[in-house]
């Protein structure tokens, strides 16, 4: 079997209102679908949640040209070939016929996202070719996977404590765990939001905080102690983006709350350093943003060895396969609690894993078990 074509399908829908985290604003629900076709008539679909969309699509096209002719079932070989292009290689300068120069450092986030979309599609093909779901290729069984709902983004004209009612609605719909976007306001206001949310969701609900890298070390230690009385399960991305495992080690030693991290990392190599440092208890690598499912499997194996739990970022219909295959190392997966926040995800599938009573229920269809509504994709093409 050979890869014959790699296509992108960017999809985007404008949100009803702009939403903010502590880091950035969102005006659209978007995804880039990557379709990989083969000479055996089997196609796979991957996803990319990164941007800018036009730039990422151009990298998928460029890397896709390299992948054409390779065996899609040999996903590690394809991954290694594409990843090698990001580094200097003997006699690769200057670029010429049959030789690709090292890809630019400035585009690494977009390149890693492009690799991710292609790689996920290859896993989908591998499962379809074997007639097996991905979790079974990994040695797992079809078991329900815990899922939590995230909310609490900031919106214009909204009262600071509106998040309490929002997350309480998630609990009423059967979620046993919820996560609050926080740390976009001053610390006093954030502690009030957190207290109000805990009161609204009750004492038994798992309660995580998604901080989006707002604090330096000393500030974060102070914040951790102030919110500890509200039974926080983890602090996610607590420190500024440039702070490294050594800083997380210091925070972990001083914080009464476990730390979660990994969503913003591009490869297993930096995630390895966070895991090996002992600083984090939950790793949140995102297959659709950086390096793909092959890299996530590698990270899951490492997390299992270090006693760290995997909690992949979003896209439960893909990441639940990973959690099902690593039950002893799995915390669970994430979803957007409010359908209005992710209308693309709500509308683009004819078939996917189902979410009921706070659990993901995978199906037994080959690959990732999803079927895309291509008419929906065409209507909302970006």
- Name the H helices within the chain: 53-67, 75-84, 108-130, 134-137, 162-172, 187-201, 217-227, 245-254, 268-276, 293-306, 316-325, 343-347, 374-379
The encoded tokens of residue 375 equal 């008419």
Is the pLDDT at 199 greater than 90, yes or no? yes
Query: pLDDT tens digits for 230-256?
Result: 999 999 999 999 999 999 999 999 999
Cα-based angle 133, 136, 142 (whole degrees, multiple of 5): 85
Helical (H) or strand (E) element with 37: strand 25-38
Mean pLDDT (whole number) for 105-124: 97
CB atoms within 10 A of CB 371: 14
* b/e map 329-367, b = 16+ CB within 10 Å: bbbbbbbbbbeebbbbbebbeeebbebeebbbebeebbb
Q: How far apart are CA 215 and CA 203, in angstroms?
A: 27
* Size of the chain in residues: 382
Q: Would you state the pLDDT for residue 338?
A: 84
Mean pLDDT (whole number) for 144-162: 93
Is 90 exposed, middle or buried, given 0-12, 13-18 or 19+ CB atoms closer than 10 A?
A: exposed
Q: Would you state the pLDDT for residue 99?
A: 85
Confidence of residue 98 (pLDDT cuts 50, 70, 90): confident
DSSP code string of 117-134: HHHHHHHHHHHHHHTSBH
Query: pLDDT tens digits for 15-39?
Result: 999 999 999 999 999 999 999 999 9
HSE (side-chain half, CA atoms, 13 Å) at 27: 0
**Which residues, other chains included, contact 69 with Cβ-Cβ below 8 Å and sequence gap of 6+?**
2, 3
Q: Would you state the pLDDT for residue 349?
A: 97
Is the pLDDT at 94 greater than 90, yes or no? no
């Amino acid at each position: 079997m050979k890869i014959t074509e790699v296509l992108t399908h960017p999809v985007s829908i404008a949100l009803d209102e702009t939403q903010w985290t502590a880091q950035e604003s969102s005006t659209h629900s978007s995804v880039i679908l990557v379709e990989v076709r083969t000479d055996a008539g089997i196609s796979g679909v991957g996803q990319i949640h990164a941007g800018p969309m036009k730039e990422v699509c151009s990298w998928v096209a460029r890397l896709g040209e390299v992948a054409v002719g390779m065996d899609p079932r040999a996903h590690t070989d394809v991954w290694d070939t594409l990843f090698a292009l990001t580094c200097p290689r003997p006699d690769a300068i200057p670029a010429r016929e049959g030789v690709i120069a090292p890809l630019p450092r400035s585009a690494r986030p977009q390149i890693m996202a492009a690799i991710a979309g292609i790689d996920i599609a290859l896993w989908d093909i591998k499962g379809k070719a074997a007639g097996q779901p991905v979790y079974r290729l990994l040695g797992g069984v079809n078991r329900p996977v815990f899922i939590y709902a995230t909310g609490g983004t900031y919106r214009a004209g909204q009262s600071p404590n509106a998040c309490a009612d929002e997350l309480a609605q998630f609990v009423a719909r059967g979620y046993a765990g919820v996560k609050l976007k926080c740390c976009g306001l001053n610390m006093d206001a954030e502690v009030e939001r957190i207290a109000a949310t805990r009161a609204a969701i009750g004492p038994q609900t798992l309660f995580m905080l998604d901080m989006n890298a707002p604090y330096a070390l000393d500030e974060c230690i102070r914040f951790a102690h102030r919110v500890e009385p509200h039974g926080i399960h983890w602090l996610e991305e607590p420190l500024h983006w440039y702070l490294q495992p050594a800083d997380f080690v210091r925070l972990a030693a001083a914080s009464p709350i476990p730390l979660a991290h990994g969503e913003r990392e591009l490869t297993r190599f930096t995630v390895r350093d966070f895991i090996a440092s002992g600083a984090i208890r939950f790793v949140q690598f995102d297959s659709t943003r950086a390096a793909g499912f092959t890299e996530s499997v590698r990270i899951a194996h490492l997390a299992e060895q270090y006693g760290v739990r995997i909690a992949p970022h979003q896209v439960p219909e893909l990441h639940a396969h990973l959690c099902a295959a690593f039950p002893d190392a799995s915390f669970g997966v994430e979803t957007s609690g409010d359908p209005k926040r992710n209308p693309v995800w709500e509308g683009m599938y004819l078939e996917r894993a189902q979410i009921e009573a706070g659990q993901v229920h995978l199906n037994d269809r080959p690959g990732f078990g999803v079927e895309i509504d291509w008419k929906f994709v065409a209507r909302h093409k970006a």
